[in-house]
Amino acid sequence: MIDIEPYHLDLARPLSTARGEIEEREGFLVRIEYADQVGLGEAAPLPGWTESLDACREALKYAPELARDEDWGVALGETSAPAARHALALALADARAKLNNTPLYRYLGNERLVRRVPVNATVGDADAETTARRVTEAVENGFECVKIKVGARSVAEDTDRLRRVREVVGDEVALRADANGAWDREQAEQALEAVEPLDLEYVEQPMPAEEVAAHAGLRNGGNEVPIALDESLAERPVTDLLAAEAADYLVLKPMALGGPDRARNVARQARQAGVTPVLSTTVDGVVARTAAVHVAAAIPEIPACGLATADWLADDLGPDPAPVADGRIEVPQDKGLGVDLGDE
């Protein structure tokens, strides 16, 4: 049995990025019955990271037919639409973890108990004083790491914003800057030189996703600011990015990678190459967001992750089993995913 239910969620406030504003999320809830257990999955496509909504819908319709003719392993292998595959792989993993009577993060390979995972706050584009105020509020709420969206303004303006934040919060707070690929090579070099005294943890996706060689040159050109890649993972295989030595960090979005299983595998590959994995979401509903929490909990010594995104949604698909407090997110300990939508 498989059930596919469309949903629409409004954001509580627009999320400003260099790609524009995100105001809503649309996707599909998926329920799969597997060995007398019902597993939950979610597909929340976001163009630029995944397939379109229509392509996701078509992939979700086709995969069950293939599974009936072959099996779910073949269906997952044949599903090339990452958000659709995420929903299917998550629903199957949820059901299998329930069968094993274990939380999803343990099913994904971590045998130790993990109760909480560190998370970062995210602050969108705004002028310097507003940005500093928002970061200060996040720190007062217990966050020890804050990611600031840059790239929608000039390099000089963004540098002023980051400098003002550092002046206000001091040296103990970890700061990240996310350009979402907004800069060309010259702008990226200017930005990294300008922010080097600010001791940023990293600058995320300074140049467009396809510019892998340029990122490698930027990283190995004497720059001391660590580089993280995010959107590049939607453009190129992780093996290409690691072979090019293009990043110090990889930001892994299970939705964009095609499922929690793939995100966990990419994290292993990154660690083996000396690159640090960070988990994030595409501002998803509670099902996919909680799955990302489990993936983060399955990775030992994970740094602060971009999982504190529930408050970006005006409403959600159901109760949140992974609340954030003091800069950390709770990891559900119930069997499986730990999300109850009231229909089981």
The answer to whether residues 314 and 179 belong to one domain is yes
The answer to whether residues 60 and 148 belong to one domain is no
User: pLDDT 10s digit of each residue in the chain, 344 long?
Assistant: 789 999 999 999 887 554 567 889 999 999 999 999 999 999 999 887 899 999 999 999 888 877 776 677 887 888 889 999 999 999 999 999 999 999 999 999 998 999 999 999 999 899 999 999 999 999 999 999 999 999 999 999 999 999 999 999 999 999 999 999 999 999 999 999 999 999 999 999 999 999 999 999 999 887 899 999 999 998 899 999 999 999 999 999 999 999 999 999 999 999 999 999 999 998 899 999 999 999 999 999 999 999 999 999 999 999 999 999 999 999 999 999 999 998 75
The answer to whether residues 195 and 312 belong to one domain is yes
Phi, psi (deg, nearest 5) at residue 238 = -60, -30
Enumerate the active-site residues.
149, 253
Residue 341 lies in a domain: no
The answer to whether residues 96 and 130 belong to one domain is no
The answer to whether residues 164 and 202 belong to one domain is yes
Identity at 39, one-letter amino acid code: G
Spatial CA neighbour of 275 closest among 306, 240, 223: 240
Q: What is the pLDDT of residue 269?
A: 97
Flag whether 26 is marked binding.
Answer: no
Read off the CATH number of the domain in which 311 is found: 3.20.20.120
Task: Give the total number of structural domains in the chain.
Answer: 2
Residue 143 lies in a domain: yes
Residue 166 lies in a domain: yes
Q: What is the pLDDT of residue 254?
A: 97
Residue 338 lies in a domain: no
Flag whether 230 is marked binding.
Answer: yes
Residue 107 lies in a domain: no
Residue 342 lies in a domain: no
CB 238 within 8 A of CB 266: yes
The answer to whether residues 21 and 138 belong to one domain is no
The answer to whether residues 272 and 137 belong to one domain is yes
Range of the domain at 326: 116-330
101, 127, 152 — which closes off a domain? 101
The answer to whether residues 268 and 154 belong to one domain is yes
Residue 108 lies in a domain: no
Read off the CATH number of the domain in which 30 is found: 3.30.390.10
CB 148 within 8 A of CB 176: yes
| C-alpha span between 229 and 264 (Å, rounded) | 17
The answer to whether residues 323 and 239 belong to one domain is yes
Spatial CA neighbour of 280 closest among 148, 81, 106, 119: 119
Residue 132 lies in a domain: yes
Spatial CA neighbour of 256 closest among 225, 273, 232, 272: 232
Burial (0-12, 13-18, 19+ Cβ within 10 Å), 172: exposed
Q: What is the pLDDT of residue 16?
A: 58
Q: What is the pLDDT of residue 314?
A: 96
54, 76, 101 — which closes off a domain? 101
Identity at 331, one-letter amino acid code: V
The answer to whether residues 92 and 207 belong to one domain is no
Q: pTM for the full model?
A: 0.93
The answer to whether residues 144 and 259 belong to one domain is yes
70, 101, 132 — which closes off a domain? 101
The answer to whether residues 97 and 135 belong to one domain is no
3-class secondary structure for the chain? CEEEEEEEEEEEEEEEECCEEEEEEEEEEEEEEECCEEEEEEECCCECCECCHHHHHHHHHHHHHHHHHCCHHHHHHHCCCHHHHHHHHHHHHHHHHHHCCCEHHHHCCCCCCCCEEEECEEECCCCHHHHHHHHHHHHHCCCCEEEEECCCCCHHHHHHHHHHHHHHHCCCCEEEEECCCCCCHHHHHHHHHHHHHHCCCEEECCCCCCCHHHHHHHHCCCCCCCEEECCHHHHCCHHHHHHCCCCCEEEECHHHHCCHHHHHHHHHHHHHCCCEEEEECCCCCHHHHHHHHHHHHCCCCCCCEECCCHHHECCCCCCCCCCEECCEEECCCCCECCCCCCCC
